[in-house]
Structure 1
Amino acid sequence: MELRHLRYFVTVVEEQSITKAAEKLCIAQPPLSRQIQKLEEELGILLFERGSRPVRTTEAGQFFYQHAVQILTHTAQATSMAKRISSVNKIVRIGYVSSLLYALLPQIIYLFRQNNPDIEVELIECGTKDQIEALKQGKIDIGFGRLRISDPAIKRILLREEKLKLAVHKNHYLTQYIDQGIYLSQIINEPIFSYPASQKPNFSTLIQSIFTELGLVPKDMIEVREIHLALGLVSSGEGICIIPESASDIGMKNLVYIPILDVEAYSPISLSVRNMDQSNYIPSILDCIKNVFEEENMVFKPSDST
């Protein structure tokens, strides 16, 4: 059995017609029919119901189709990943979530560039979920994200657990807790701005999951496009917002930031790479992260995550 036989079969299933499949594959109809018959003979099963219009798979054929699609997808991903790995000495594409620009990511990227002048670095903003597919498709080589997302093709290295803070207007009554901190149970009746309004899971999903983990149900969660809009609304006295600690350096007027005391209130910061990738840029970027953490007097104990 060859990959082209699987492609022929999958195309016939998806087009529901031998004629249309032959046109799409740019081959004549009789050879395509013979290849399908040959595949059935090799497998010893009927893949299609005889005489059906449009073409329909048998129960066994539908089962085989699902696995054929997976094989073709994994083959395409492996090919793309291999090409990216072979060319990584020229360029490394790094995906990142925008909020990490307020953390240590700029220092890490700058040091990586200084230590690797022969490598061109391209930064690509994309959400943590999108990074997984981008890694598998070879569109990026490293991903810096915030969510707990697992995939067997991806290795995720937890770098740190960043505490979250509550952003409120400087005249908000909750500022009385600015020194001792506050628990999330104390804010569930407040209008809370969450972000971003993008494909889930995202940072907004993380915040909601923390409330759920604590058995809390916020009364008024308002999702907005991005962090600057959320903080702008808080600065206008419209509500409050939960942000990563590093984002408190954004410096918007009229805001104060209150520590959140719940131990569950943190955002995991992780580095993601392809599971089988042994490229030398990976230990190099980890060395840069270690050096920057040490400069900031932060503990660096990376751990593999699932």
Structure 2
Amino acid sequence: MELRHLRYFVTVVEEQSITKAAEKLCIAQPPLSRQIQNLEQELGILLFERGSRPVRTTEAGQFFYQHAVQILTHTAQAASMAKRISAVNKIVRIGYVSSLLYALLPQIIYLFRQRHSDIQVELIECGTKDQIEALKQGKIDLGFGRLRISDPAIKRIVLREEKLKLAVHKNHRLAEYIEQGLYLSQITHETIFSYPATQKPNFSTLIQSIFTELGLVPKDMVEVREIHMALGLVSSGEGICLIPESASDIGMKNLVYIPILDVEAYSPISLSVRNMDQSSYVPNILACVREVFEQENIHLKMNE
């Protein structure tokens, strides 16, 4: 059995027609029909119901289809990853979520560039969820993100659990808690802006999950496009917003930032890499992370 046989079979299933599948594969219909018959003989099962229009798979055929798709997908991913790994001496593509530009990521990337001037670094803004697929497809080599996402093909290294802060207008009634901090239970009746308005899961999902974990239900949670819009609305006195501690350096006018006292109120910062990736850039970037964290006197968690 060859990969092309699986590709022929999958195309017939998806097109629900031998004729359309042959056109898509750019081969004649009779040879395609023979290839499908040969595959059935090799497997010793019927893959398609005889005489059905459109073409329908048997129960065994549907089972085989699902696994054939996985095999073709994994093969394509492996080929793409191998090409990326072979080219890593020239360029390393790093995916990142935009909020990390306010944290230590710029310092880490700058140090990496200084230490490894022979490697070209390309930064690609990419949500944490999208980073997983981008890593598997070889579109990026490293991913810095914030969400708790698991995938058997990806190794996720938690670098830090960054505390959240509450952004409020300086004249808001909650501003009196700027020194002592407050609990999330104290803000559930406020208008809370969350972000971004992108495919989920995202940072907004993380915030909602923290409330849920604490058994809290915010009465008015409004999702906006991105962090600057959320903070702009807060600066206008429209509501409040939870942000990672490092984002308080954005410096928008009329805002104060209040510590959140709940231990559950944090945003994990993680580095994601391909599970089987043994390339030198992985320990090299981790060495830069370690050095920058030490310089800033920040505890490095480094849990996988």
TM tier, smaller: over 0.9
Map 1:29-40 to 2 at 5 A. Answer: 29-40=29-40
SS of the equivalent of 1:164 reads: strand
Counterpart of 1:163 in structure 2 is: 163
Provide the C-alpha distance between the structure 2 equivalents of 1:4 and 1:292, rounded to a whole number of angstroms: 49
- Provide the identity percentage: 88
The residue type paired with residue 150 of structure 2 is: S
Counterpart of 1:243 in structure 2 is: 243
Map 1:100-249 to 2 at 5 A. Answer: 100-249=100-249
Residue-by-residue CA offset, 1:226-272 (whole Å, 9 max, x unaligned): 00000000000000000000000000000000000000000000000
Provide runs of 4+ in structure 1 moved above 6 Å: none
Map 1:4-153 to 2 at 5 A. Answer: 4-153=4-153
Residue-by-residue CA offset, 1:4-63 (whole Å, 9 max, x unaligned): 000000000011111111111111111111110010011111000001111111111111
Provide the C-alpha distance between the structure 2 equivalents of 1:293 and 1:192, rounded to a whole number of angstroms: 31
Counterpart of 2:294 in structure 1 is: 294
SS of the equivalent of 2:121 reads: strand
The residue type paired with residue 109 of structure 1 is: I
The residue type paired with residue 190 of structure 2 is: E
C-alpha RMSD of the superposition: 0.5
The residue type paired with residue 95 of structure 1 is: G
Provide the C-alpha distance between the structure 1 equivalents of 2:209 and 2:18, rounded to a whole number of angstroms: 48
SS of the equivalent of 1:193 reads: strand
Provide the C-alpha distance between the structure 2 equivalents of 1:112 and 1:277, rounded to a whole number of angstroms: 18
Q: Does 1:255 align with 2:255?
A: yes
The answer for unaligned runs of 5 or more in structure 2 is: none
CA drift at 1:301: 3.3
Provide the C-alpha distance between the structure 1 equivalents of 2:5 and 2:70, rounded to a whole number of angstroms: 14
SS of the equivalent of 2:206 reads: helix
The residue type paired with residue 214 of structure 1 is: L
Provide the C-alpha distance between the structure 2 equivalents of 1:28 and 1:192, rounded to a whole number of angstroms: 60
SS of the equivalent of 1:303 reads: coil
TM-score normalised by the chain length of structure 1: 0.99
Provide the C-alpha distance between the structure 2 equivalents of 1:189 and 1:15, rounded to a whole number of angstroms: 52
Size of the aligned set, in residue pairs, is 304
